[in-house]
Amino acid sequence: MKKMYGITTAMLTPLDSDGNILEQQLKDYTEFLINRGVHCLYPLGSMGEMNLLTLDQRKKAAEIIIDTAKDRVPVFVHVGATREEDTLLLAHDALEQGADGIGIVTPSYWPFKQNEVIGYFERIAKTLPDDFPIYIYNIPQYTTIDMTTDMMKTLTNRCKNVVGMKYSVGNMARTQEYLKIKTNDFSVIQGGDLLLTLAMTLGCDGVISGYSSAFPEYFVQIWDLYKEGKLEEAKLLQNKITDIVSVLKKEVSTIPKLKTILKLRGMDIGVCHKPFLMPTEEQENQIITHLKHFEVL
């Protein structure tokens, strides 16, 4: 089974001011990421404004990305939704469209019990082929649900197609515990992309990186440097990208900021769904000054 590895970009979703998907921009943006060397694509997750999109929009966006990628890089579509029925619909649509695999975030809002969460994933996994890879997306700071190591062991023992975890918490001790799971050749991908070098040192297969949606070549270069044994150079570049993305951290949400940065870099993919707000003119000028300081523009 295919697995996610290296720099897997958590893609943004191009949208116009009415919330419609900008289809040509999505094709161009997919090419932008592939041409800059990312190893895999992960659309329609948190960075893709998943639950702010309609089901039809999510299906259409997945279709465009899979068709544009044309097997040049693996595409793992995030299909998690509030309703189990919607997650099932999106999962089977991704399979039919030719996705290489899927990601599914834990249920959210209600503090479901462990057996309820395991049952949710098991029911979905059992409706899909055993050779269609599924990654569980654990981001408890957003969902209130924490997929523990024991829960993952239970799930992987029951479902051959549950092959990995996207863990979006900077808890390296827990990351190491996930790495001890051997069932289904278990794969661990860190969601904290600013922890790339540390995650690689621990043995993770890579990162699912939101910031690589705007700076793909930087993250690919960090990966390459690490693989070449140039650890100090990799750390220096990691520190540089951490400083670059720190601009207006408290004033502007990450997704609007990254869409603005992409526009400034020549890849205009529109705006965000409300309640996200795009940067003001003054804030955009601050971003420009910051990027020029780091010679990004």
CA–CA gap between residue 228 and residue 164 (Å, rounded): 26
Question: CA-CA distances (angstroms) from residue 146 to 30, 51, 80, 86, 178?
Answer: 31, 19, 15, 21, 13
**What is the total residue count of the chain?**
297
Q: Closest by alpha carbon to 76, among 156, 8, 165?
A: 8
Residues 199 and 235 sit within 8 Å (Cβ to Cβ): no
Residues of the chain with pLDDT under 70: none
Please give the pLDDT value at position 74: 98
Give residues with Cβ within 8 angstroms of 233, minimum separation 6: 225
pLDDT given for residue 278 in this prediction: 98
- Which residues does residue 164 pair with via DSSP β-bridges, in sequence order? 135, 187
The type of residue at 25 is Q
pLDDT for 106 equals 97
3-state secondary structure of 187: strand
pLDDT digits (tens, 9 = 90+) for 96-148: 999 999 999 999 999 999 999 999 999 999 999 999 999 999 999 999 999 99
Q: pTM of the prediction? A: 0.96
Question: What is the pLDDT at residue 193?
Answer: 87
Q: How far apart are CA 273 and CA 153, in angstroms?
A: 37
Q: How far apart are CA 181 and CA 165, in angstroms?
A: 10
